[in-house]
Amino acid sequence: MGVNPNVSRRTFLTWYMAGLMTATVVAGLAPILVFIWPPSPAGEKKANVGVKLDTPVSKLADGDAVRFDAPQNTAFIEQDGGGANARGNLTYAGYAVKQGGRTIFLAVTCSHLGCSVNFNQDAKRFECPCHGSRFSIDGNVTHGPALSPLSHLKVTEQGETLLVAGIMTGGA
């Protein structure tokens, strides 16, 4: 009794089509999954990075912003952004901003080309020393060349310590 060539051809085509469809779905989903769960670069471990502010959040007045830096061998993860910033990018400092009775946490990285913005206490705005972009106290662009707002950081307040979503490198 021989093998029916029609059956084995049909079987082959079925498996071939199934493989092709699976590959297409995986190729389509991969970029979405990477967007949702950005991979950590090799040797880096996601962690909540503890930082203390010069002025605790509870003592910030409305319209205040205080800078905090990532300790050595750590970095913070941007939660969103546009331009030079993107969800999953690393940044090395941020600002705790009190406005309208609530506190937000912004990354220090300018969305134009990545310089660090400074807070102008008198004007209550962020200013980039590189090409003059300005951002309102809540991080929105008020003056170009930047086109996108500052990125947010994910922070859990634990007493006077901030736990900032970030990474630790192998040297930590």
Which H or E run includes 97?
strand 93-99
- Shortest gap between Cβ of 115 and ligand FES (angstroms)? 4
Least separation in angstroms between CB 114 and ligand FES? 6
By C-beta, is 48 or 118 nearer to ligand FES? 118
Taking phi over 0 as left and psi of -120 to 50 as alpha, with beta for the rest, 147 belongs to alpha
By CB under 6 A, name the binding residues for ligand FES. Answer: 110, 112-115, 128, 130-133, 145-146
Q: Which two tokens stand for residue 165?
A: 């979503």
Q: What is the closest distance, in whole angstroms, from the C-beta atom of residue 15 to ligand FES in the complex?
A: 53
Residues 6+ apart with CB under 8 A from 72: 171, 172
Query: Is the Cβ of residue 49 or residue 128 nearer to ligand FES in the bound state?
Result: 128
Q: 98 or 112, CB closer to ligand FES?
A: 112
Q: How far is the CB of 12 from ligand FES (least distance, A)?
A: 57
Comparing CB distances to ligand FES, the nearer of 77 and 141 is 141
Strand partners, 90: 77
CA distances from 58 to 55, 64, 70, 117, 124 (A): 8, 11, 20, 24, 19
